[in-house]
Structure 1
Amino acid sequence: MSMQRRTVLGAALALPALACPAVTRAQGNFPDRPLRVIVPFGAGGPTDVVGRLLTDPVQAAIGQPMVIENRAGAGGNIGTREVARAAPDGHTLVLNAASPLVINQWLYRDMGYDPLTAFAPVSMLTTGPLLVIANPRAPFSTMGELVEYAKRNPGVVNYATAGNGTVPHLATEMFLRAAGIELTNVTYRATPQATQSVLSGETALFFDSPASITHVRSGAVKALAVTTPRRFAPFPEVPTVKESGGPEIAVEAWYGLLAPAGTPADRVARLHDAFATAIKRPEVAQRLAALGFEPVGNRPEEFAVTIRAEAARWGDVIRAANVRIE
């Protein structure tokens, strides 16, 4: 899909400038110029949303502008590779979703970087479930009804993905294999376009980011389930996949910040303090909750452990599902 469309998420990004407490750790003059934060996906998607919500509080904390740059393409590899090759001085960062860090290595022959060695993890910023949404006119309102309908009509239901090999795509593949059903994949360039396809009725189903709860609350789509084992606190009325009559699956979508490998540890610590403080501010946490995200802000070493564990997990899923990039 070539058209660019911003979702209603854009309206949720206007946060007033927030006065964050100064980071007390002595860090010299770093940063001494604007932070360049690359988002390797299109504007209006969930990764972009997280970055723009953090812009004002991070700027207040570090005393320098924070500039978001969208560098979409190749499943997030293009923007991620740019940061992997940047000077390791802490001024160029990547705010990333899981795919370029733990999934793409199993799908692409050469990404131009090794996600396990090319970066210095700073912090996992947010996490949340995928939210399974359906067009209001779809002939099912629960995951159990979807399974029954698909078994009677194999291949008839179209489901959206925001690129092959993305977390929503692989989560859908996990669900289809566990349920023993066949749906038809329609691939879009980015999350906003995939969401829009469900809104318009072009597709019936999408394992979307939790930010699509705004469309559920407006009545534009219906929520079938969340992909976490337990209900999600920001919208507890939505059942889990199992509670909704489907097979049990467990998938979370997370977003994190990384610097190029070799960035000095004191600068990584300074960045961690600024972003972890910003993500947990009540004003930011409240806005994130409205969009279906939970703040994390964990330590760099904790984020590194998660990246390695998730890479191993998704490698197993991809091999089992025989997913390939054509």
Structure 2
Amino acid sequence: MTTTRTRPRRAIPLRRALLALALGAAVVPAAQAQGSNWPSKPIKVVVNFPPGGAADTIARAISQPLQDALGQPVLIENRGGANGNIGGENVARAQPDGYTLLMSSGGMVSVNPHLYPKMSFDPTKDLIPVAAAARVLVFLVTKPSLPPQNVKDFIAYVKERPGKLSFGSPGTGSSPHLAGEMFKSQTGLFAVHVPYRGAAPALQDLLAGQIDFSFDPGIGLNQVRAGKLRLLAVGSPKRSPLFPEVPTLDEVGLKGFDADTVFGFYAPARTPPEVVSRLNTEINRILATPAVKERIANLGGEAVPGTPAAFHDRAMADSARFGAIIRERKILAD
């Protein structure tokens, strides 16, 4: 556990970031990745979370059609740890030639600078956005042995047992963790946070009854359908099309509750603009295909094609929103 807090880093303005990208790219040797020469070998996508989580699922849904579009293998490599920083640094230090990409939750850019006193790289300078992929919702789920059948009863139940119930997350500072802290802040209840190394092990312990509830990033929805978990609410501004009868937390009185985050692809700074443009075009096209849209929807998420600039803007808005709860709850990195 770290002992010092960090001030949020000031994100460089978007216009400056894009100008720096253009100027930096101009000095990249043309032989690295230009025009028809790219791609001429396999492309590696580093997923900065363990297998089985939302980032891994989204990366694998997109990798095969991207491979077909580019005519080169697209290989997935999981490098989890430090809330995404280990995989993020790996890509930030890679050659900016278009052959190493990162698939990450937006939290690496919007959350981690608020959590870590020192980062070995600056995600707003050493990485550039390539394409958003999916807006990922979180779902308040409980083990079915708990008596409450709705959110209001659940809040009352936890309040009557301060510190007796626990909730799991993929790690300190992850969007499911911050959703839990928002929930505690707005309700005044106290529950113990149990961080895991990824969403999949947190789900496993919830199913085993080792923890009591979680804000699941969609990977537990099949267990909800099977009756192995109870879904109480959606931590999003709008209801999920998969469960239209389930209310949002905003609707049940937690006004403005929004724990959504956007997952997407990044590249090392100074990656040639034409490579970024090609990747953005292909990924946006893939996100519009029924098969990929359905796979993301099965997570309870939503495909969000768009420009690199729009992806950047969303990350900066999330940084302000999540930074506020991190400061309020005095959350420190592990």
TM-score after normalising by structure 2: 0.87
Pick aligned residue for 2:159 from 145, 148, 151? 151
Determine the C-alpha separation between the residues in 1 that align with 2:125 and 2:43.
22
Aligned match of 1:11: none
Deviations, residues 182-222 of structure 1 (Å, cap 9, x unaligned): 11112211100111111111111000112321111111101
Structure 1 stretch 289-298 or stretch 44-53: which is displaced more?
Answer: 289-298
Pick aligned residue for 2:169 from 161, 170, 177? 161
Aligned match of 1:140: 148
Aligned-partner residue type, residue 50 of structure 1: I
For structure 1, list consecutive stretches of 5 or more residues without a partner in the other structure. Answer: 1-25
1:162 positional shift: 1.5
Is 1:303 the counterpart of 2:298 in the alignment? no
Aligned match of 2:228: 220
Structure 1 stretch 134-143 or stretch 265-274: which is displaced more?
Answer: 134-143
SS of aligned partner of 2:35: coil
Structure 1 stretch 184-193 or stretch 308-317: which is displaced more?
Answer: 308-317
Determine the C-alpha separation between the residues in 1 that align with 2:171 and 2:177.
7
Pick aligned residue for 1:108 from 112, 116, 119? 116
Determine the C-alpha separation between the residues in 2 that align with 1:169 and 1:58.
31
Is 1:290 the counterpart of 2:310 in the alignment? no
1:142–1:245 contact (8 Å) kept in structure 2? no
Percent of pairs with identical residues: 36
Aligned-partner residue type, residue 148 of structure 1: A
1:314 positional shift: 1.8
Aligned match of 2:277: 269
Determine the C-alpha separation between the residues in 2 that align with 1:304 and 1:297.
13
Aligned positions, number: 301
Aligned-partner residue type, residue 133 of structure 1: V
Determine the C-alpha separation between the residues in 1 that align with 2:83 and 2:258.
22
Is 1:233 the counterpart of 2:233 in the alignment? no
Aligned-partner residue type, residue 106 of structure 2: A
Determine the C-alpha separation between the residues in 1 that align with 2:226 and 2:242.
16
Structure 1 stretch 142-151 or stretch 257-266: which is displaced more?
Answer: 142-151
1:247 positional shift: 5.4
Deviations, residues 113-154 of structure 1 (Å, cap 9, x unaligned): 111111121111001310111101012222211211122111
Determine the C-alpha separation between the residues in 2 that align with 1:118 and 1:34.
22
Determine the C-alpha separation between the residues in 2 that align with 1:250 and 1:92.
32
Determine the C-alpha separation between the residues in 1 that align with 2:274 and 2:85.
27
Determine the C-alpha separation between the residues in 1 that align with 2:332 and 2:129.
27
1:231 positional shift: 0.7
Aligned match of 2:51: 43
2:136–2:263 contact (8 Å) kept in structure 1? no
1:233 positional shift: 1.9
Determine the C-alpha separation between the residues in 1 that align with 2:103 and 2:236.
23
Deviations, residues 48-87 of structure 1 (Å, cap 9, x unaligned): 0001111211111111110000011111111100100111
1:81–1:111 contact (8 Å) kept in structure 2? no
Structure 1 stretch 66-75 or stretch 310-319: which is displaced more?
Answer: 310-319
1:244 positional shift: 4.5
Determine the C-alpha separation between the residues in 1 that align with 2:307 and 2:275.
13
TM-align CA RMSD: 1.5
